[in-house]
């Protein structure tokens, strides 16, 4: 048990560090450091342009999608090298936002199911940031119950015709490609009639409408499909095997979001040290200390759970649903920390302007964004089901719709 | 980086688990629980033979010198089995205190006895309710003779040797406390009842008891803090061992017990309760591994890592033990089912080297110190 870099890891770290210090957009550093939760600060510079620029610079030198094989545009690096890279990339990692879904979820799915030709054509451009991907899974009628989705795909010669609606699609408005799961057979039980495709987001018949979120931003969208045509060659996996394909996406999703989730702990610790409360610094307050200890234990526990997962990965084991705990713990922590941090500020806690609010309004931003963390990519309840059923082997929920043909399943009105 | 126990360490865990399966089944634990024995001498004899008492005691003092990571692995198995023996008192507390503060002669005299299990040691600090501080220690030492009362003392009626905290100068500051080694054969000892009868607890009355200083005069409090930090990691492994067992028991029962025509584990109320137990335990386990690393390498991070492991493992064990009863329904509240063994032990371990609230405070102190540096 040790945290020392091996000789090889140390060499990798040195190489990464040297390259980053020579090539990173240092003019952005002071702005990026001021980023508050879920909002990237690039000062006067355009965020997307800067994100793409940094991505391309990294790609040209082989520093994106590190774990992917070289001919897919990656580096063939080990999981531990991936961790080292993220440590070294530091504040510039904030510029990876638009590429996360492609790298973490769509890319691995394409790599697992697409033809060699498509892999060669798509993956390097995904890695370089030249093309951005989004995940068209959730629908009004199928979020947690993803297999309840209704978007139809009907075969017409060598093409498929798509009609229906997706919702909550992050980044659809700036994406070039989408990974799309559809229903191709409504007469069989719901998991059996699904098929996966990828398509260009500028295909005729695709309409994207932004959705305004609780925090006022519009990171996600509604996406409507009206007679959209997709060549059969853009199908991933067999017809009717869409569920199996989606599990590959979702497994990668858990791995990519579980690891380095922010928790809000370092920020709140810093805050209570400096906040002048009724009887001196807030950190001297007993109730505050109890919470700090609890939060530290969770944040530290997550950090070293990630280290255990990385070790398992590097030994060739595939960590499964265990990775679910990262988001489950971090999402709840952030929401709780935000509320406590506001509580300590009294009415001033209500201020939202970064110029006026404490710590540049980061806790207010956290308050307004953290509810989403508990929902996106598997809600808390779904994650607990996964832990209970797949890690601990508890019996599944009673599933009234499991063996019923999809078109005979009862539907609610909400 | 490699954040996992080695294959050899896992082999050791397997070996100890097999031994405890045979020699520390719940029927054995219950012999102590029900007062047939004060502690389990046969199990102790087996442990002596197995040679694991001296796991972290250097060879020159009669141990095997295997190391602290190995001792952590052993501790986890002892916790899992709710072992009714003075392993922790004798090894994590008394032996560690002597290793840290003993003179060369004390180490060569006492450590081999503790490593072989011929002598059982303990640590006597607490005297009354409330957080222990130099102010709450009234037992005095004069010319190496101790007078006063220690209560409660873990394994006080069976220990041969105690490390005792005594007041050696006026005032209530840390420098007023010194440690002593005392042969308990001449000390008055009374059993006291506790929430966990599988661990002996006693009141010790010292009347001019002969003692030898352990460590320098006035250094007692500082040594104690170091001992507690090291023991915190080791007891934390006992705690996650117990928590793991409670989680497994709850999970198995939830699969087998039916209500409303289905296994109770298919109800989300139960399923999510158990998932939450798992999450707390995994976080605690990761914190314990970090603590083990810090203990094993004597890292500067040890005080912080130890407090983190302690708070986290205490929380997890209490949580798992409490909800294990809940999952079992009425059966969980019977003497006959083993759920209460973990409920009792989890709540005793939550107090034994300072309560959770004390450790929370220490943890935040240490985080502050790190951030100030
Ligand atoms: C910020 C954000 C970004 C997102 N980005 C994307 C994206 O890019 N692509 C994409 O496809 N989707 C995306 N999503 C959608 C997300 O995956 C879904 O919102 C999520 O899966 C929940 O589905 P739902 O919204 O339909 O809620 P529902 O499934 O209706 O859930 C409502 C409530 O019921 C609970 N519930 C549902 N089923 C169960 C059950 N079996 N047991 C217990 N409780 C249950 C849920 O936990 C929740 O509390 C995003 C969501 C958010 C908030």
Q: How do residues B145-188 score in pLDDT, each as one tens digit?
A: 999 999 999 999 999 999 999 999 999 999 999 999 999 999 99
B chain contacts of residue A293, beta-carbon cutoff 8 Å: 311, 359-361, 363-364
The neighbour count for residue A77, using CB atoms within 10 Å, is 19
Contact A53, A92 (CB under 8 A): no
Catalytic positions of A are 253
CATH code of residue A170: 2.40.110.10
The neighbour count for residue B29, using CB atoms within 10 Å, is 20
For an interface test with B, the pick among A78, A80, A285, A392 (most B C-beta atoms closer than 10 Å) comes out as A392
Claim to verify: residue A152 and residue A96 sit in the same structural domain: no
- Residue A255 pLDDT: 66
Claim to verify: residue A226 and residue A269 sit in the same structural domain: no
- Residue A231 pLDDT: 98
A287 touches chain B (CB under 8 A): no
Q: How do residues B268-319 score in pLDDT, each as one tens digit?
A: 999 999 999 999 999 999 999 999 999 999 999 999 999 999 999 999 999 9
* Domains, chain B, with CATH or none: 7-92+105-116 (1.10.540.10), 121-218 (2.40.110.10), 221-372 (1.20.140.10)
B chain contacts of residue A263, beta-carbon cutoff 8 Å: none
How far apart are the CA of A183 and the centre of ligand 1, in A?
19
For an interface test with B, the pick among A6, A265, A301, A316 (most B C-beta atoms closer than 10 Å) comes out as A301
A252 domain residue, yes or no: no
A400 domain residue, yes or no: no
Q: How do residues B309-361 score in pLDDT, each as one tens digit?
A: 999 999 999 999 999 999 999 999 999 999 999 999 999 999 999 999 999 99
How far apart are the CA of A379 and the centre of ligand 1, in A?
6
Helix intervals (H) in A90-241: 100-101, 107-113, 116-128
Claim to verify: residue A16 and residue A66 sit in the same structural domain: yes
How many angstroms separate the first and last alpha carbons of chain A?
Answer: 52
Answer with the one of A114, A131, A148 that is the final residue of a domain: A131
CB of A382 closer than 6 angstroms to any ligand 1 atom: yes
The neighbour count for residue A339, using CB atoms within 10 Å, is 14
Claim to verify: residue A206 and residue A295 sit in the same structural domain: no
Inter-chain CB proximity A308 and B3 less than 8 Å: yes
Claim to verify: residue A282 and residue A166 sit in the same structural domain: no
Of A375, A382, A400, A402, best ligand 1 pocket probe by most atoms within 8 Å of the beta carbon: A375
CATH code of residue A50: 1.10.540.10
Contact B266, A397 (CB under 8 A): yes
Contact A133, A276 (CB under 8 A): no
Answer with the one of A116, A131, A146 that is the final residue of a domain: A131
Claim to verify: residue A35 and residue A110 sit in the same structural domain: yes
A3 touches chain B (CB under 8 A): yes
Q: Is the pLDDT at A319 greater than 70, yes or no?
A: no
Looking at this predicted complex, what is its ipTM? 0.96
- Distance from C-alpha of A276 to C-alpha of B336, rounded to nearest angstrom: 54
Residue in B with minimal Cα distance to A392: B251
Q: Single out the residue of A247, A228, A161, A236 nearest to residue A197, CA to CA.
A: A236
Claim to verify: residue A126 and residue A171 sit in the same structural domain: no
CB of A170 closer than 6 angstroms to any ligand 1 atom: yes
CATH code of residue A275: 1.20.140.10
A282 domain residue, yes or no: yes
Q: Which residues pair with A229 in a beta bridge?
A: A161
Q: Kind and range of the H or E element at A383? A: helix A380-386
CB of A381 closer than 6 angstroms to any ligand 1 atom: yes
Percent of chain B with pLDDT over 90: 99
- Residue A34 pLDDT: 86
Residue in B with minimal Cα distance to A286: B361
Q: What is the CA radius of gyration of chain A?
A: 22
Q: Single out the residue of B340, B314, B313, B353 nearest to residue B88, CA to CA.
A: B353
How far apart are the CA of B182 and the centre of ligand 1, in A?
64
Average pLDDT rounded to a whole number, residues A168-185: 98
Claim to verify: residue A272 and residue A370 sit in the same structural domain: yes
| Number of independent structural domains in chain A | 3
Inter-chain CB proximity A297 and B263 less than 8 Å: no
Average pLDDT, chain A: 93
- Residue A412 pLDDT: 81
- 3-state DSSP helix/strand/coil percent for chain A, to nearest 5? 55, 15, 30
Q: Which A residues, 349 through 408, put their C-beta within 8 Å of a C-beta on chain B?
A: 381, 383-385, 387-389, 391-398
- Distance from C-alpha of A313 to C-alpha of A307, rounded to nearest angstrom: 10
Claim to verify: residue A115 and residue A157 sit in the same structural domain: no
A311 domain residue, yes or no: yes
A chain contacts of residue B308, beta-carbon cutoff 8 Å: 296-297, 300
Claim to verify: residue A125 and residue A165 sit in the same structural domain: no
Domain of A364, in residue numbers = 259-378
Claim to verify: residue A109 and residue A185 sit in the same structural domain: no
Taking the CA of residue B302 and the nearest CA in chain A, the distance in Å comes to 14
Inter-chain CB proximity B364 and A385 less than 8 Å: no
Answer with the one of A131, A149, A177 that is the final residue of a domain: A131
A361 domain residue, yes or no: yes
Of A168, A178, A324, best ligand 1 pocket probe by most atoms within 8 Å of the beta carbon: A168
Q: How many CA atoms lie within 13 A of B59 on its CB side?
A: 1
Average pLDDT rounded to a whole number, residues A330-340: 97
Q: How do residues A181-222 score in pLDDT, each as one tens digit?
A: 999 999 999 999 999 999 999 999 999 999 999 988 889 999
Q: Single out the residue of B278, B272, B270, B283 nearest to residue B332, CA to CA.
A: B270
- Residue A257 pLDDT grade (very low, low, confident, very high; cuts 50, 70, 90): low
Q: Is the pLDDT at A258 greater than 80, yes or no?
A: no
The neighbour count for residue B197, using CB atoms within 10 Å, is 17
Taking the CA of residue A328 and the nearest CA in chain B, the distance in Å comes to 9
How far apart are the CA of A383 and the centre of ligand 1, in A?
11
- Distance from C-alpha of A79 to C-alpha of A84, rounded to nearest angstrom: 9
From the list B2, B274, B286, which residue is nearest A2 (CB)?
B2
Q: What is the CA radius of gyration of chain B?
A: 20
Inter-chain CB proximity B287 and A269 less than 8 Å: no
For an interface test with A, the pick among B367, B370, B373 (most A C-beta atoms closer than 10 Å) comes out as B367
- Residue A259 pLDDT: 57
CB contact burial B117-134 (16+ within 10 A = b; e otherwise): bebbbbbbbbbeeeebeb
Claim to verify: residue A232 and residue A276 sit in the same structural domain: no
Q: How do residues A60-73 score in pLDDT, each as one tens digit?
A: 999 999 999 999 99
- Distance from C-alpha of A82 to C-alpha of A84, rounded to nearest angstrom: 5
A388 domain residue, yes or no: no
A22 domain residue, yes or no: yes
CB of A138 closer than 6 angstroms to any ligand 1 atom: yes
Average pLDDT rounded to a whole number, residues B244-271: 98
Chain CA centroid to CA B131, Å: 18
Q: Between the CA atoms of B174, B180, B185 and B190, what dihedral angle is there, to the nearest 10 degrees?
A: 0
Q: How do residues B185-219 score in pLDDT, each as one tens digit?
A: 999 999 999 999 999 999 999 999 999 999 999 99
């Amino acid at each position: 048990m040790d945290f020392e870099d091996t000789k090889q890891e140390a060499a990798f770290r040195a190489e990464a560090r040297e390259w980053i210090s020579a090539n990173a957009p240092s003019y952005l550093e002071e702005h990026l450091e001021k980023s508050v939760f879920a909002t990237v600060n690039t000062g006067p510079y355009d965020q997307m342009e800067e994100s793409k620029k940094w991505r391309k610079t990294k790609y040209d030198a082989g520093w994106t999608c590190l774990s992917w094989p070289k001919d897919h545009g990656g580096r063939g690096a080990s999981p531990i090298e991936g961790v080292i890279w993220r440590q070294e990339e530091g504040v510039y990692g904030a510029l990876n936002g638009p590429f996360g879904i492609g790298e973490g979820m769509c890319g691995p799915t394409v790599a697992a199911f697409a033809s060699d030709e498509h892999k060669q054509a798509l993956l390097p451009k995904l890695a370089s940031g030249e093309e951005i991907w989004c995940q068209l899974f959730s629908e009004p009628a199928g979020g947690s119950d993803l297999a309840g989705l209704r978007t139809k795909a009907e075969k017409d010669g060598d093409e498929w015709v798509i009609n229906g609606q997706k919702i909550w699609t992050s980044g659809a408005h700036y994406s070039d490609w989408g990974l799309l799961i559809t229903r191709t057979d409504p007469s069989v039980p719901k998991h059996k009639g699904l098929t996966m495709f990828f398509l260009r987001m500028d295909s005729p018949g695709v309409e994207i409408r932004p959705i305004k979120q609780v925090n006022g931003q519009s990171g996600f969208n509604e996406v409507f499909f009206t007679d959209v045509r997709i060549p059969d060659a853009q199908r991933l996996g067999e017809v009717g095997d869409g569920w199996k394909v989606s599990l590959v996406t979702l497994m990668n999703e858990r791995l990519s979001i579980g690891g380095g989730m922010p928790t809000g702990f370092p920020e709140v610790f810093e805050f209570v040290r400096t906040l002048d409360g009724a009887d001196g610094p807030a950190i001297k307050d007993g109730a505050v200390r109890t919470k700090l200890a609890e939060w530290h234990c969770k944040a530290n526990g997550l950090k070293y759970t990630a280290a255990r997962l990385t070790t398992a990965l590097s030994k060739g084991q595939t960590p499964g649903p265990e990775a679910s705990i990262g988001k489950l713990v971090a999402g709840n922590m952030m929401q709780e920390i935000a509320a406590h941090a506001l509580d300590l500020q009294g009415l001033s806690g209500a201020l939202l302007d970064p110029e006026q609010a404490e710590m540049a309004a980061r806790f207010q931003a956290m308050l307004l964004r953290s509810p989403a963390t508990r929902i996106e990519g598997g809600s808390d309840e779904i994650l607990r089901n996964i832990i209970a059923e797949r890690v601990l082997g508890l019996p599944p929920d009673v599933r009234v719709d499991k063996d019923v043909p999809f078109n005979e399943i009862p539907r609610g009105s909400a | 980086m490699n954040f996992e126990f080695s294959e050899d360490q896992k082999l050791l865990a397997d070996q100890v688990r097999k031994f405890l399966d045979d020699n520390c089944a719940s029927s054995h634990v219950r012999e102590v629980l029900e007062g047939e024995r004060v502690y389990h001498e046969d199990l102790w004899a087996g442990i002596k033979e197995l040679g694991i008492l001296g796991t972290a005691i250097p060879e020159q003092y009669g141990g095997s010198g295997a190391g602290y990571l190995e001792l952590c692995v052993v501790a986890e198995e002892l916790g899992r089995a709710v072992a009714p023996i003075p392993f922790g008192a004798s090894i994590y507390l008394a032996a560690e205190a002597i290793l840290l503060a003993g003179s060369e002669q004390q180490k060569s005299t006492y450590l081999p006895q503790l490593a072989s299990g011929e002598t059982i040691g303990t640590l006597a600090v607490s005297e009354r309710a409330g957080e222990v501080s130099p102010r709450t220690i009234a037992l005095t030492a004069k010319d190496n003779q101790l007078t006063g009362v220690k209560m409660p003392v873990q394994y006080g009626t069976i220990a041969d040797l105690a490390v005792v905290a005594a007041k050696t100068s006026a005032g209530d500051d840390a420098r007023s406390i010194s440690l002593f080694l005392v042969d308990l054969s001449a000390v008055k000892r009374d059993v006291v009842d506790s929430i966990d009868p599988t661990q002996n607890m006693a009141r010790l009355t010292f009347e001019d008891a002969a003692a030898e200083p352990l460590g320098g005069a006035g250094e007692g409090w500082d040594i104690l803090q170091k001992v507690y930090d090291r023991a915190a990691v080791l007891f934390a492994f006992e705690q996650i061992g117990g928590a793991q067992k409670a989680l497994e028991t709850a999970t198995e029962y939830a699969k087998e017990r039916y209500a409303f025509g289905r296994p109770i584990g298919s109800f989300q109320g139960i399923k999510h309760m158990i998932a939450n137990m798992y999450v707390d335990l995994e976080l605690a386990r990761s914190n314990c591994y970090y603590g083990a690393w810090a203990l094993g390498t004597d890292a500067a991070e040890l005080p912080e890592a130890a407090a983190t492991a302690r708070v986290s493992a205490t929380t997890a064990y209490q949580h798992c033990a409490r909800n294990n009863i809940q999952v079992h329904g009425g059966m969980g509240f019977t003497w006959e089912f083993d759920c209460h063994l973990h409920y009792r032990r989890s709540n005793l371990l939550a107090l034994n080297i300072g309560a959770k609230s004390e450790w929370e405070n220490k943890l935040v102190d240490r985080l502050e110190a790190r951030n100030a540096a």
